[in-house]
C-alpha cells in the first residue's frame, strides 16, 4: 500500500511537471510570435517617424522654402528606407557572427566572410549618407549650405550646439 501511494504521488508529480513544461513552452512560443509582430510594426513606424521629424528639423534650421521642403522630404524618405535596410542587414550579420563565435569550433573563414560583408554594408551606408548630404546641399542656397554643414559636423562631433530630433518615449520603452 505504501509503495502504491508512492507511485501515485510520483505519477501526479510527473503529470504536474509535464503540464507546467507544456504551458511554459506554449507561452514562450506565443510571446516570441507577439514580439516578432511588435518588432515588425515598430520597425515600420520607425522608418516613417524619423523622416517626418528630420524634415521638420531641417525646415526649421535651414528656413527651407516649400519647394525645398518637398525635395528634402523625398530625399529623407529614400535615405531612411535604404539606411534602415542596411542597418537591419548589419544587425542580422552581427548576430550571425556572435553565434558563429559561440560555437565550439568557430569557422574562421566564415567569420572573415561575415566581417567582410559587414564592412561592405558599412561602406554602402556611408555612401548613402554622402549621397544624401550632397543631394540636400544641391537644393540649398549658400547660407543654407553653411548651416547644413554645421549640422552634419555637429552630429559627427557629438556637439550639443545643434540637436537632432529624438524618438519619442514610446520608442524608448520598446527597446
Task: Tell me which architecture the domain covering 42-173 has in CATH.
Answer: Up-down Bundle (1.20)
Check: CB of residue 93 under 8 Å from CB of residue 118: yes
* Average of per-residue pLDDT across 104-109: 94
Long-range contacts at 122-127 (CB < 8 A, ≥ 24 apart): 122/90, 124/86, 125/83, 125/86, 125/87, 125/90
Per-residue confidence (pLDDT) for residue 44, from 0 to 100: 53
In sequence order, the 6+-apart residues with CB closer than 8 A to the CB of 101 are 111
Q: Does residue 34 register a pLDDT over 90?
A: no
Check: CB of residue 137 under 8 Å from CB of residue 151: no
Task: Please give the Cα distance from 131 to 113 (Å, whole number).
Answer: 27
41-51 core/surface letters (b: 16 or more CB in 10 A; e: else): eeeeeeeebbb
Where in the chain are the domains? 42-173
**Cα distance from N-terminal residue to C-terminal residue, the chain:** 57
Per-residue confidence (pLDDT) for residue 174, from 0 to 100: 44
State how far Cα 51 lies from the chain centre.
15
| CA-closest candidate to residue 168, choices 40, 80, 48 | 48
User: Has this prediction a pTM greater than 0.75?
Assistant: no
Q: What percent of the chain has pLDDT over 90?
A: 43
Amino acid at each position: 500500500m505504501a509503495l502504491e501511494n508512492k507511485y501515485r504521488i510520483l505519477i501526479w508529480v510527473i503529470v504536474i511537471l509535464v503540464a507546467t513544461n507544456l504551458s511554459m513552452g506554449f507561452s514562450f512560443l506565443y510571446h516570441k510570435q507577439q514580439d516578432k509582430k511588435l518588432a515588425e510594426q515598430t520597425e515600420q513606424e520607425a522608418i516613417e517617424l524619423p523622416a517626418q521629424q528630420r524634415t521638420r528639423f531641417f525646415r526649421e534650421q535651414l528656413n527651407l522654402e516649400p519647394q525645398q521642403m518637398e525635395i528634402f522630404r523625398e530625399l529623407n524618405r529614400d535615405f531612411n528606407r535604404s539606411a534602415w535596410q542596411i542597418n537591419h542587414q548589419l544587425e542580422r550579420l552581427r548576430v550571425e557572427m556572435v553565434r558563429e563565435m559561440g560555437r565550439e569550433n568557430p569557422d574562421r573563414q566564415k567569420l572573415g566572410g561575415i566581417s567582410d560583408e559587414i564592412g561592405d554594408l558599412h561602406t554602402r551606408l556611408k555612401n548613402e549618407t554622402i549621397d544624401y548630404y550632397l543631394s540636400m546641399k544641391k537644393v540649398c542656397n549658400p547660407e543654407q549650405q553653411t548651416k547644413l554643414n554645421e549640422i552634419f559636423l555637429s552630429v559627427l562631433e557629438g556637439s550639443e550646439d545643434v540637436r537632432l530630433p529624438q524618438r519619442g518615449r514610446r520608442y524608448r520603452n520598446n527597446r
